[in-house]
A and B are shown apart, each in its own frame.
Chain A
């Protein structure tokens, strides 16, 4: 399948998502 690539800014955004707390 397609390789899953995430950039830093996208990962940092998810850091503050409710699910990670």
Chain B
């Protein structure tokens, strides 16, 4: 679960934080739903790569399967290196997420903008951002942005306003904030 130290080749544009890209697919063969909800999730997570410069990001991104070619119930997670994209991670345990629901076909551009907004430090919230997720589902797709402190309403409001400004979301998109505690229930 570790790809080793990050590299900063000369001449490349360093990011503020290194990030890891993860892939997960919902397991369909697990019979016990509780196992699927907890252990199954961790086991289905795969670390795809890590990036520490803008050039490394594009080198990885252009090789990732296009979102509209991904099967249903798959997720891509781009998280700061050292934070696993799970509620149980200490960075996430008191956190929450803004969830944006989009009609099929609308998520690709918004996901790209969301990744770039995070990598480029466009969310002015100190070190609150943990990572972003795109979830491919049956009728609609979802984007999520996870932050550390769900109870910090000033921060969550600032993230919401930044999302609206940066993602150029279609009018049909809906947004709601969920604490990870709510999601666990």
Contacts and interface: CB of A to CB of B under 8 A. Distances in A.
Given A11-B116, A11-B119, A11-B120, A4 B14 contact: yes
Contacts of A20: 54-55, 58-59, 62
A11 B13 CA distance: 10
Q: Which of A10, A15, A20 has the most CB of B within 10 A?
A: A20
Interface residues of B, number: 20
Nearest to A1: B16
14 contacts: A6-B116, A6-B121, A7-B120, A8-B113, A8-B122, A11-B54, A11-B116, A11-B119, A12-B116, A14-B13, A14-B54, A15-B58, A17-B55, A21-B59
Interface of A: 3-8, 10-12, 14-15, 17, 19-21
Closest 10 interchain pairs by CB? Answer: A6-B120, A20-B58, A4-B16, A19-B55, A5-B121, A20-B55, A14-B54, A15-B58, A11-B116, A20-B59
Interface of B: 11-16, 54-55, 57-59, 62, 113, 116-117, 119-122, 166
